[in-house]
Amino acid sequence: MKPASRKSITHDKKLFLLEQLAGKIRLDSFSCPIAEYNEYLLNEAVRSQNDRMALTWLFRERSTGAIAAYMSLIADAIKLSVTEKELHNLDYPFKTIPAMKIAKLAVSASFQEKYRGIGSLMIEMAAHIAEACNEHYFACRFVTVDADIEHNESVMEFYRKNGFVPNDEMNNKRRKVVSMRKDIIVQD
């Protein structure tokens, strides 16, 4: 049931801040519908960050400090078919193309009820981080994700709505996830 009073997050961006996970932040109040994602934030995110395996970003409500959402980002490279390379005007002999992966993305159940668009805003922020990498550190053409169809069959539609397309070269019909990409270069 969608509450009619849910606000669009695009009108209330100033109510939130995006910050890197730090040891002093309480995580135990975060709860999303997928237990595995709660478990990751509570028990694995700090270790993954300390081991340089994933960098976790928290989207927190300014007034309360509550975690509305989080995403863990990692470096990635994807294989594209010849047709996929042509689609993106990538005439290079490289077997892989540089990318940044959204390894985890979860929105708190209570904030899902209160606001629309938090997940989409998180994807927008990930794209901005990837663009900053291009400007200052290293090349990154795509934002990628393994859409978790095991826990949410409609998640592919969410990612499609946010500009992602499936990676033909990376997908296997027996997987519990579907590899997807979003080109961060605006094509004219």
Task: Give the other-Cβ count within 10 Å of 135's Cβ.
Answer: 6
pLDDT digits (tens, 9 = 90+) for 94-134: 889 999 999 999 999 999 989 889 999 999 999 999 999 99
Domain boundaries, the chain: 7-183
Write the pLDDT tens digit of every residue in 132-142.
999 999 999 99
Nearest by Cα to 152 from 107, 85, 93, 90? 107
Q: Measuring CA to CA, how many Å separate 175 from each of 35, 94, 115, 179?
A: 20, 26, 32, 10
DSSP letter assigned to residue 47: H
Tokens of 128: 């901005």
Determine whether domain 7-183 maps to CATH 3.40.630.30. yes
Task: Read off the pTM.
Answer: 0.88
179 class by beta-carbon count within 10 Å (0-12 exposed, 13-18 middle, 19+ buried): buried
pLDDT at 4: 46
Express each pLDDT in 17-54 by its tens digit.
999 999 788 898 899 999 999 999 999 999 999 999 99
pLDDT score for 188 = 46
